[in-house]
Structure 1
Amino acid sequence: MARLTLSKAQLARERAALDMYRRYLPSLDLKRRQLMAERKRTEVRIVTLREEEALRVDGIGAEIPMLADTRIDLNGLATLKSVRLGERNVVGQRVPVVENIEVDIAPYGRLTRPHWVDLVATRLKEVLRIRVEMQVAAREIVLLDGAITKVTQRVNLFEKVLIPRAETNIRRLGIALGDMERSAVVNSKIGKRKREATGA
């Protein structure tokens, strides 16, 4: 810790720093809370997507019991062609957002395969979309966790280091400057008495 200069200018600097810290701390704390709320919303979205995926996957068997026929090859029917991601700003943190998902449905002969293959292709396309959205949401959680950690460290720095240090410095400077003023007054009175005593 640097030595304090015992001066009124240093006291003014410490008071200004303390005011600045107290002014910025609430906005940092608000940012942390907003990031945590966004993280919670993303967690809820992931849970919803998982439930939706399970519903789609489990629903395919109930909706299309003909899937049990293993003679019909459905491998490679739906494949992920491309994913275009964008970004959105969450309280200063850039997080990915899905802009477009392209899924290729492999060409198949409409007359050589049963009619229900169309429905299977549609459901597979939906499941692929849900899985991509879950991966992007998981990445968002990682980025938000990093941002929350960084902001929490700053909040702790202000609350536990900078503000207490500034308050301590202000107290020390106040005491030291008060002692110096009293000492100066006492010295001037002693000097005045000596002058009066020698002048008399």
Structure 2
Amino acid sequence: MAEKLKYNKTALKAQRDAMAKYQKFLPILQLKKMQLQLVIRQMEPVIEEKRRMVRETADRVSAWSRYFTDPAVDIKDFLDIEKIVTHRDNIAGVDVPEFKAVVFKERPYSLFATPFWLDTAIQVMRHLTALREELRLLLQKERLIQDELRITTQRCNLFEKKLIPELKENIRRIKIFLGDEETAAVGRAKLAKEKIQQNEAR
């Protein structure tokens, strides 16, 4: 429940201080919002390009698919991921992952006991796997930035459309009330002075 507005000089100062704080903080929020919007716009073509690369590489792999049913070797054995190397970056206050590389578990194999196509297939499949992981992290990064943009936009709207206008209205009402009180006090003082003068004149 909202605290009832008090009509005194202390309340007026508190309302003015709060408005000054919000008006100082609002441009910082607006700048952050613009930065996040810019980053999202810059990411869109990067994500689209990565999707195109995944599609093209997957199409190349499909030409090899008939070999993958070879009972002599299972390509999946060479695609076990040991770790995905990333580092953390900070974009407009948002902690996001940045893709570096995919490290695969090494599995030695005989060049003579395995089919001729295996080397190339491992290379292409690992490249496709790395591209997919990079795309996954890009989409995760985009989601994190969009979430932060949504929260920042909500805060901007809260400050611009609710808190600052409410404080302005409260200040206006308190000033009117204090002005009326001051006028009434001056009026009472005049009446009191007149009565004193009348009493003295008797």
Matched with 2:176 is 175
Counterpart for residue 119 of structure 2: 118
Task: Map 1:67-82 onto structure 2 (within 5 A).
Answer: 68-69=66-67, 71=70, 73-76=73-76, 77-82=78-83
Question: What TM-score do you get using the length of structure 1 for normalisation?
Answer: 0.86
Aligned mates of 2:105, 2:52 — CA distance in 1: 24
Per the alignment, residue 185 of structure 1 pairs with: 186
Report the Cα offset of residue 152 of structure 1: 1.9
Pairwise CA distance, 1:102 = 0.4
Aligned identity (percent) is 28
Distance 1:141 1:174, change over 3 A: same
**Amino acid of the structure 1 residue aligned with 2:112:** L
Are the equivalent residues in 1 in contact too, given 2:89–2:97 (CA < 8 A)? yes
Deviations 1:83-126 (A, max 9, x none): 13321111111111223320245433322445443222211111
Deviation by residue 1:154-198 (Cα, 9 ceiling, x = unmatched):
212211221011101110011001101110111111111111122
Q: Root-mean-square deviation (CA), in Å? A: 2.2
Q: Where does 1:89-104 land on structure 2 (aligned, <5 Å)?
A: 89-104=90-105
Could you tell me the TM-score, scaled by structure 2's length? 0.85
- For 1:105 and 1:41, locate their aligned partners in 2 and report how far apart those are by CA, in whole Å: 36
Listed as ranges, the gaps of 5+ residues in structure 2 are none
Counterpart of 2:33? 32
Gaps spanning 5+ residues in structure 1: where?
none
Listed one character per residue, the Cα deviations across residues 39-76 of structure 1 (whole Å, up to 9, x for unaligned) are 33333322111111112222346xxx676455474532
Aligned twin of 2:134: 133
> Structure 1: how far apart are the matches of 2:183 and 2:65?
95
Contact kept? 2:61, 2:125, Cα under 8 Å: no
